[in-house]
Chains A and B, each alone.
Chain A
Amino acid sequence: MAAPRGTSKNAGISWRTVAPAPMILLQGSEELLASRAFELVRAALRASGEIELTRFEAAAYERGELLLASSPSLFSETKLVEVRGLATMNEDFLNDALTYAKSPAPDVTLIMHHGGGVRGKKLLDALKAAGAVVVDCQPLKKDAEKIDFVSQEFRAAKRKLSAEGARALVAALGNDLSELGAACSQLLQDTTGIVDQDVVDKYYGGRVEATGFKVADAALAGRADIALSTLRHALATGTDPVPIVASLAMKLRQVAKVAGVRKSSGQLASELGMPPWQVQQAQEQARHWNPDDLARCIRLVAEADAQVKGASRDPEYAVERAVTQISLAARR
């Protein structure tokens, strides 16, 4: 369990304010923040002279390596030791790190990332007791935190981002912080001046809420342009074709159930066991359809379903074809 941010004493300092220290512990599962913290420390040390950098994976660590890496250098360079993956550390690392925490070597910066979980809790406690700097790398959950992250990115680059722009960016890409970070750097490099909502829309518009249901709704309403661009966004953001076909099938099924039935939505809702809003939506969409097209499209989706589940070599083409045909069959 991640400690709630800002309430616990152990939550640690923000990664933006991290500075070289004998021992630094990055705690939290957000890889992007951790790698930013690694970079900051590295850059700060490099700014003040030559450094000798050693990297370890805590899971593949061999006994004695830490001692070797932290023993004084012949050329009296500053030493930086980066250790990743403490959440899966092996016993050797645990023992060596515990010993090291008792007597940290001079002129060495040891920076470690622990992604979360209970593995190595003893070491974490020992590090904290020994005065290690704890940096908070917990995932950003609230939109406000993400908006804050985006604004800080722009501020760090001395650029302006409007409040609407920040909100639009988070709405489009907020699910994945590393994508959000990448989008920020793309906007910073590609544009000049103030970044506002128009600019964000130009780059990431339509990406908002690209789910299978949005695709299905647009297709059944006969809006081929919207359906296809939403589909492309959904596929590009990693939605599998299978659930998209499933939502097409479900929407068609709902429309088919209410098509040509002259009953009120309330009556239908209780007969079909569907919520009234769903019945109303289906009735609304049914106006675009005639029975033969509906039948043809149900057959088409069944075929696409088989194709995305292995009958075809190109599942994305199969779902795209189904979406195109459905959108064209629906009357605007």
Chain B
Amino acid sequence: MDVWGDLPGQEKAITALRRAVAEGNPAHAWLFTGPPGSGRSNAARAFAAALQCQVPDPEQRGCGTCKACITVLAGTHPDVALISTEKVNYQIEDVRTLITKAQDRPSTAPWRVIIVEDADRMTERTTNVLLKSIEEPPPHTVWMLCAPSPADVLVTIRSRCRSVSLAVPTRQSVAELLVRRDGLTTEQADFAARVSQSHIGVARRLARDEQARRRRDTTVRLPLRIRSVSDAVMAAAELVELSTAEATASSTERAETEASSLRTSLGLDADSPIPPQQRSAFKALEENAKRRARRATTDALDRSLIDLTTFFRDVLVLQLRSGSELVNDYLADPLHAYANASRSEQTIAKIDAIAEARKRIWTPGNPLLTIEAMAVSLRPAK
């Protein structure tokens, strides 16, 4: 089993990457683009593994069995750094440390590889810090940036990178992967691949986690319950609660663990007061936790809104009689009823309202109010 096996439906990209490995002299910066869930960072990781692979024949690199391949894929290779952020945006300090690291010679392998996940989560100022390093890295350094689309990174970055675009994998290929790698039954895998719209990560979570499935189901059925303004406001409150409760709970728990371990390392008891000199350390910790929590809750909310969109997407498919498959096939009857009761323009307006809300939840606005404004637009027209 070679390193490319976990990238369903990306044959075209894989061919290009294999060729780059075989030539033995890869470009110094790569930009992996593709819709969420298409496996951008996995593709970057597989490419890194193939570059570092210890097989002597360049055509056969990426064996998936040598030590280098295994450690890169497991994320423990000393010369491959996988950078991601748990906050809404990368902090500029984090990126500065990366640049220093990029100057180091690789210690064991032929290349030093730095994979930056979600390169779109950088503000312009942060990206500018990277420019110089991406343009002329030391001879043994390879940068790999991942972003949903080339338009999500600055044009100055884009022009310095060789681009690899990934396609949306087909439902069948995602289902096959879930069966093969995660040992799911065919029906489970097929359902998960369908409702997640081929988002590999989401599909796996839905297939494994009963709670996640139930949450999604409640979300998708929400439009069926909204009849009046009063229903809409209630549904909005429920949606926010449903999607953020788990994220909030887990991030609070993590913040508490961190604070108590900082106390231990500073030699403070659980209830002794924090000395003024050390208060800033705790303050920074809280600040970090707050940023992480915001990212986590907003991500969860965003996911729910995507799920909600699938309902109206299906309604639109029925109204336009396009004959495409329904994402929420198991809700076919209520979907038909809903589609017959409204017109396609109204459905499009509702999809727009959801898209507007998805944009707005990333701004500093009040999330509940944003969702309420969306929910009142989802009322059926008279």
Q: Could you tell me which A residues sit within 8 Å of B by CB distance? A: 246, 249, 253, 256-261, 291, 294-295, 298-299, 301-303, 305-306, 309-311
Contact = CB atoms under 8 A, between A and B. Distances in A.
B370 interface: yes
Contacts, number: 65
A249 B368 CA distance: 10
A256 B364 contact: no
B229 A294 contact: yes
Contacts of B234: 257
Given A253-B233, A257-B234, A305-B366, A299 B376 contact: yes
Interface of B: 228-230, 232-234, 360, 363-366, 369-370, 372-373, 376-377, 379
Contact of B228 (A291, A306, A309, A310): A291
Nearest to B234: A257
Contacts of B230: 256-261
Contact of B366 (A246, A256, A260): A246
A182 B376 CA distance: 48
B224 to A, nearest CB: 18
Contacts of A246: 366
A305 B370 CA distance: 9
Contacts of B233: 253, 256-257, 298
A253 B230 CA distance: 9
Chain B CB within 10 Å, residue with most, of A257, A295, A303, A309:
A295
B369 A249 contact: yes
A301 B229 CA distance: 15
A256 B368 CA distance: 14
Contact of A309 (B229, B364, B372): B364
B360 to A, nearest CB: 6
B365 A291 contact: no
A147 to B, nearest CB: 40
Given A295-B379, A309-B363, A309-B364, A301 B228 contact: no
A291 B377 CA distance: 11
A259 B233 CA distance: 10
Chain A CB within 10 Å, residue with most, of B233, B363, B364:
B233
A246 B360 CA distance: 16
Given A257-B230, A260-B230, A306-B360, A299 B365 contact: no
A298 B373 contact: yes
Nearest to B375: A298
A253 B372 contact: yes
B376 A310 contact: no
A58 to B, nearest CB: 23
